[in-house]
Chain A
Amino acid sequence: MRAYTPKDNVQKKPYYTDRYWVAPQVAKHDVSSDEVFAHDLDAIKAKFEVLDAYIQVDQMVVIINAADNFAVIEMLKNEREYNQLSEMSAIDWLATEGKFEVFYQMLSMSKRKRLRIKCKIDEKESLQSVEKLFRSADWSEREMYDMFGVVVNNHPFMKRILMPDDWEGFPLRKTYPLQGDEFAAWYEVDKIFGKEAREIIGPENRDPARIDRYDTERFSRLGHEVPRGTDITNGEPDTPLVYQEPEGVFLIEKFDAEQSVVISDRHR
């Protein structure tokens, strides 16, 4: 019999895991199965050290040393017709390997082939910028720095791109909490009012869906409004929508439904 575990908070922690479940892997094929990629790989291997290379979903993945990244991409652009850097970023493997994986997704318009260059760097290690080769790397590298803290050398404007300049922490790292650390939680209060206002404004309400049906201090039910603080545990009266004060508004004529004309003939 399986040991009993409390199941009252199942959303927080999965209480059942399949012991025989294996994460599906995308099949890796040998590079020699594609003629075009095989030539490209030979060209890279002639000049640089290649740690691993395979074909996944019709795209070649080449894993190189991080120090070679600029030279490899320069060669692919100038000699192997990979003329577009469609995407680049990093992946956080700090927990398992203590490293970031940086990938460059490249496209050759003439060969109709996509190629991915990957390299791994340590947390404090920096990388050579490829902004000189591809302008698209300008913002991508800034975003990589903003989200992961991967510093890129020789970048013309190495600055945060999405988060504020005075932000602390790198939000896309696995160790960064989704709802923010203490700096993030008080960021707007500290910046606008100062730290001494924290006690007055109070912590963030991180459960915005929490609604107390009978709380008339903070909530009102549309069409059933009552004065603030009224006890409505025994039900509340209907209050029809009132667009104006009942006694009318100064200088504004109230709409009279009796005297209005309803046009029934739309072709009039």
Chain B
Amino acid sequence: MAQHQVNYLKDGGLPVALTTIDKVVNWGRSNSLWALTYGLACCGIEMMASGASRYDFDRFGTIFRASPRQAELMVVAGTLTKKHAEFIRRLYDQMTEPKWVISMGSCANTGGMFNTYATVQGVDRVIPVDLYLPGCAPRPETLQYGVMMLQQKIRRESASRAQKPKRLM
């Protein structure tokens, strides 16, 4: 007797699933989005709450990593100052391709209420952004929805072609 019950009437009688390379790769990519911990201000608190037990990002495969080498998603959570702009660019460059960026909250989107000399007026002046989350600060549900939208975006992309690196300029 076989150890596992095999349904010989399904999938041509073999315990296999047929699919395309694209789908398998994108399934893997979209369900193991490792995010760089990038809490710059109060949005970082909401990002931490999203990672904690109530909202539990681990079940989406989104695990926060402390190193850009191990991350493929950057959630820019908070106010980006002009002094810090070069470091966010360096960390973005250190992340491995393919990589995605979520701009979380008003400050990261547009500079928000900090209409001053010291604040970058939107992180998209420095790094290319895939998804903008509105709110001040966005609730964890917003970030959760944003990550799921990003997963859909990743699944739409073709995995087999060479990844064209995103360039701001």
Contacts and interface: CB of A to CB of B under 8 A. Distances in A.
Given A188-B85, A191-B85, A204 B116 contact: no
A213 B19 CA distance: 42
B117 A179 contact: yes
Nearest to B24: A250
A208 B83 contact: no
B125 A188 contact: yes
Interface of A: 162-164, 171, 176-181, 184, 187-189, 191-193, 197, 200-201, 204-206, 208, 222, 241, 243-245, 249-252
Interface string B8-39: 00000000010100011001000100000000
A180 B120 CA distance: 11
A203 to B, nearest CB: 9
A241 B145 CA distance: 9
Contact of B86 (A171, A188, A200): A188
Interface string B111-148: 11001111011100110000000100000000001001
Contacts of B19: 250
A201 B83 contact: no
A132 B117 CA distance: 33
B158 interface: no
A180 B116 contact: yes
A200 B126 CA distance: 12
B163 to A, nearest CB: 20
A184 B155 CA distance: 40
Contacts of B106: 208
7 contacts: A180-B116, A184-B117, A188-B85, A192-B126, A200-B169, A249-B155, A251-B27
Could you say which of A171, A180, A197 has the most chain B C-beta atoms within 10 Å of its C-beta? A180
Contact of B117 (A180, A193, A222, A250): A180
A159 B169 CA distance: 34
Contact of A176 (B89, B117, B120): B117
A29 B119 CA distance: 44
B155 A245 contact: yes
A241 B169 CA distance: 33
Given A191-B86, A222-B134, A206 B120 contact: no
Contact of B115 (A179, A200, A222, A252): A179
A192 B85 contact: yes
A164 B117 contact: no
A83 to B, nearest CB: 35
B168 interface: yes
Could you say which of A162, A208, A241 has the most chain B C-beta atoms within 10 Å of its C-beta? A208
A148 B121 CA distance: 24
A177 B110 CA distance: 19
